[in-house]
Chain A
Amino acid sequence: MKKLFIWSLTLVFFAGFTSCKEDPIEPPNEVYDTEVNINFHHLANGSLVDMDTMKYISAHGDTISIRTIKYFVTRLTFHREGKSDVMLKDMHYVEEGLDNTKSYLYSTKIPSGTYTGISFTYGFVNEDNISFMFGSAPEYQMFWPENMGGGYHYQKIEGQYYVNGIKKFYNFHSGGLDDEDYSINIVLANSEFTTQNKSVLIDLNMELMNWFKNPVIWDFDYFGAAIMGNHEAQAVIQQNGADVFSATVQ
C-alpha cells in the first residue's frame, strides 16, 4: 500500500511536470514595433461606388443601387515564412459614410520584417461572435437577434433593385445563423510585403459587384429581400465573398 502511495505521488508529480512542459511560456523575443493602418474603399465595377444611384447591373442582369454598407473585419492576420502568424485582435467596424471607420490604426503592432501575405475574417468566427460584447453604437446596433443565433451581423449591404419594372429593396445581410458559422476567411492575393519605417498601410478594396457572382449568380428575386433566416442565401454569400476583397500593401 505504501509503495502504491509513493507511486501515485510520483505519477502526480510527473503529470504536473509534463503539463507544464506542454504549455511553455515563450519569452518575448520579437519587438512589436510596426504599426498597422488600414483604409477601406468600396468599389463598384472598379470605381468608388456612387451611393443611392440606380445604375449598376448585377451579373444576373438586375439594375441595382447601394445605400448602406456596414461590416466587420476581424482577426487580421499577417503570415510569415518559418515564423508564427501574427494576428491582431481588434474587431473593426466599417461603415460607408462614417469616415472615422474607413481609416483605422490598429491598437497593437506587428514585428518588422517580411510577410508572405495577409488574411482576415469577414464577420466573426463563432468563437468571437458573442452577444452584447459591443456596448455602444454603431457596433451595438449590428446585433443579430438571439432567436436566430445571437451575436452580430457580419454585414449589412442594402439598396434597391428593379424587377419587372418594380423597384424593390434588398437587405443583403449576413451573419451566423442558428449557430452555423458563415464568416468568410479572406486571403488577400498579392499581399506579401516587407515593413519599412515601422509602418504598414493596407488599402483594402471591396468590389461590391463581386458579391453577386462567382461562383453563384445572385438572383435578387429568387432569394428575396430578407435573407437573414435563409441558410442557402447565407452559404452563397459566404462562397461569393472569397474574391470580393483585394489589397495593396505598402
Chain B
Amino acid sequence: MKWNNIIGVVLTIGLFSISSCNKDEPSPIDDPSNQPYVTTPYTIDVPIGFPDLIIPEDNKTTIEGVALGRMLYYDNILDKDSARSCATCHIQNENFQTDNGSDQILSHINFAWSNNFMWNGGFTGTLEEVMLFEVEHFFETNIARLNANEEYKKRFKQAFDVDEITSKEAAYALAQFQRIMISSNSKFDKYMRGQAMLTDLEMQGMILYNTEEADCFHCHGTSLFTDNIPRNNGLDEFPEDGLMAVTGIPMDLGRFKTPSLRNIEFTAPYMHDGRFQTLEEVVDFYSTGVHNTATVDPLMVYAYKGGVDLSDDDKKALIAFLKTLSDTDYLTNTELSDPFN
C-alpha cells in the first residue's frame, strides 16, 4: 500500500468518525422553534377571460396563509369587543354579504381584482392595504390577544415566520383568503366555456345587456361584471354625497361603487341603500326611473328620458340573463366555509 492510499484511508475513517460523533449530539433542527420556515404555495387558477391576477411579491399565496386567513375571517378574535368577525356581515350562503337595511354590505366576490372598496369609494388600494385598514380601524384588533393565543401563534409562525404577530400579518392572511374567493362557475361561465347553452330568453337578455339598448356592459362589463368605478347612476334627484364625502369634489356627488352583478340573484335588496327589493324593481328603475342630474354618469345616456325604456319582454329577458350569473357553488364552496364548524 502506498503512502497516498494509507493517508486516504485514515482521512476517510477520521471524517466518518467526526460525522458519527456529530450525529449523536442534539441537532438545533430537532427544536420545533428552529424548524426551517417552509410554506406550501397555493396555486390560484385564474378563470378564462378574467384579468391578470396581481399578487404582491411580499404576500405570495400559500396553503398556510390561506388557512390562517380563513380562520381569521370567521373568528371574532379580530374584533376589539369580540362581537363580530368578517363573516358576521359577509355570510357565505348570501354571497358573502347580508341585508343590512339602509346601509348595505358589499359582497366579497372576486375582490382579488378590485382596487376600489367601500360603497362610497372610500378606500382604494391593494387587498393587503384594505385588510390592514379593516384590522386596524374597522375591528381595532387587539393584537396582544392574537399573540396570547397559542394556536394563532403557531399558525402565524407557519405562514409568515414571525414570532410576534402584528396587524400586517393579520391583514396579509386575510388578503390571501380574499384572493381565493373566486366565483366563476355560473351558467354564464359554463356557456362561455362551451359547457352549457343559454335559452332563447337568456340569449336575448345577454344581447340587450351587451348592447347600448340596455347598456349594462359599460359599467358592469368584463368577466367581473363590474368596472369597480364609483358612478352616479341617477338614483335620486337630490343624491347622497357618495364619493364626494371622501374627495370633497362636487362632481363626485352621488357616486357609489359599481358592484359586481355576479350572484345578483342572491343579494337583494339592491343599491347601496337597499331601496329595491327585487331585480324587477331594479330593471324598472333603469328603464324609466333614472334622474337626470348634473353629476349623473354620461354612460346613463338615456337619463334625459328617465332611462333605457325597455319593453316588458326585454325586462324579462334581461332578468333571465342576470340569473345566469348565479354561481351556487360559490355559496357552498367548502374551501371558503367556516372552518370552526
**Which positions in A face B, CB cutoff 8 Å?**
52, 67-68, 132, 135-137, 140-141, 143, 145-148, 158-160, 166-171, 225-229
The segment from B47-55, B182-190, B281-289 found at the interface with A is B47-55
Task: Check: B304 CB closer than 8 A to any chain A CB.
Answer: yes
| Set of chain B residues within 8 Å of A137, measured between Cβ atoms | 51, 115, 227-228
Per-residue 0/1 for B154-190: is the Cβ within 8 Å of any A Cβ (1 yes, 0 no)?
Answer: 0000000000000000000000000000000000000
* CA gap between A132 and B222 in the complex, in Å: 9
Complex contact B301–A171 (CB within 8 A): yes
Quick check: is B299 within 8 A (CB to CB) of the other chain?
A: yes
In the assembled complex, 18 residue pairs joining A and B whose CB atoms fall closer than 8 Å, in A order, are A135-B52, A136-B52, A140-B51, A140-B222, A141-B227, A145-B210, A145-B221, A147-B206, A147-B207, A147-B210, A147-B211, A160-B298, A168-B301, A171-B218, A171-B298, A171-B301, A226-B301, A227-B212
Question: What distance in Å separates the Cβ of B110 from its nearest Cβ neighbour in chain A?
Answer: 13
List chain B residues, Cβ under 8 A from A132. 49
- Residues of chain B contacted by A136 (CB below 8 angstroms): 51-52, 54
Interface size class of B (residues with CB under 8 A): 20 to 34
Contact A166:B304 (CB < 8 A) given known A132-B49, A147-B210, A147-B211: yes
Assuming the contacts A136-B52, A143-B222, asked whether A170 and B301 have C-beta atoms less than 8 A apart, the reply is: yes
User: Could you tell me if A168 and B304 are in contact, using CB atoms closer than 8 angstroms?
Assistant: yes
Chain B hits for A170, CB < 8 A:
298, 301
Measured in the bound complex, the distance between the Cα atoms of B54 and A137 in whole Å is 11
Of listed A68, A158, A160, A226, residue having the most chain B CB within 10 A: A226
Docked Cα-Cα span, A160 to B302, in Å, equals 11
Is A141 touching B215 in the complex (CB atoms < 8 A)?
Answer: no
Q: A148-B211, A226-B215, A226-B302 are in contact. List 18 more A-B contacts (CB 8 A).
A: A52-B251, A67-B298, A135-B51, A136-B52, A137-B227, A140-B51, A140-B222, A141-B227, A143-B222, A147-B210, A168-B301, A169-B296, A169-B301, A169-B304, A228-B211, A228-B212, A229-B211, A229-B212
Which of chain A's residues have a CB closer than 8 A to the CB of B212? 171, 226-229
A132 and B215 alpha carbons, distance in the complex (Å): 20
- Asked if A68 contacts B298 (CB within 8 A), the reply is yes
**A135 to B51 alpha-carbon distance, docked (Å):** 5
Chain B, Cβ-Cβ closest to A225 = B301
Q: Complex formed: what's the CA distance from A12 to B79 in Å? A: 78
Cα–Cα distance between A171 and B212 once the two chains are bound (Å)? 10
A141 to B228, CA, bound (A): 10
Question: Which of B227, B301, B303 has most A Cβ within 10 Å?
Answer: B301
B221 and A169 contact, CB distance less than 8 A:
no
